[in-house]
Amino acid sequence: MRTTTPFRAAVIGLLALTLAGCGISIPSDPDGTLDEARDGVLRAGVSPHGEFVVVEPGASAPTGSDLSGSEVEAIEAFADSIGAEVEWTVSSEEALVRGLEAGDLDLVAAGLTDATPWIDKAGVTRPYAETTSPDGSPQKLVMLVPIGENAFLTELETFLTEYGRAQSGEAAR
């Protein structure tokens, strides 16, 4: 027996209404990263890398006051935008990615580019800025988040886009 197009449309519409009534929101965070960070603590991992992440010499257990650089400033501004305090972890990229996988970190920054080798271990933001490599080729900067935390990723990407515009003066146009 063949079903008619209006019948199919009615079934699809009913299914959509049923799912909407279940409180499903898209994008979502299965582990609640955005909800936990908002008005709470943003657990950010950084690894020293050029002007992006600078750790003051001699800082044995670096805190926010021992850190500087463009990505540190961006993370602090993002935390402010969601009402969070930043809890910093400074380590190697590998240790930070393990922290993302274990659920111990919400975000990693280390002057990473869109050619990052961590793409199968972490969620990667859209490129939010460009820089030039030592050989003169252009590189696009990204940050890492836990895999599957799409609401958090979306919030961060939206922020980074607006932050980048404000930094470059495009917001005034």
CB contact at 8 A, 120 and 147? no
Sheet hosting strand 85-90, strand order edge to edge:
85-90, 41-46, 107-109, 144-145, 123-124
Residue 134: which pLDDT band, with cuts at 50, 70 and 90? confident
Please tell me the pTM assigned to this model: 0.81
Q: Tens digits of per-residue pLDDT, 15-67?
A: 555 545 555 567 888 889 999 999 999 999 999 999 999 998 876 666 777 89
Q: Does the structure show a pLDDT above 70 at 77?
A: yes
Q: What is the pLDDT of residue 56?
A: 86
What Rg value do the Cα atoms of the chain yield, rounded?
Answer: 20
Q: Does the structure show a pLDDT above 50 at 115?
A: yes
Structure tokens at 161: 């886009």
Q: What is the mean pLDDT of residues 76-87?
A: 97
Q: Which domains does the chain have, with CATH numbers?
A: 26-172 (3.40.190.10)
Cα atoms found within 13 Å of the Cα of residue 69, Cβ hemisphere only:
20
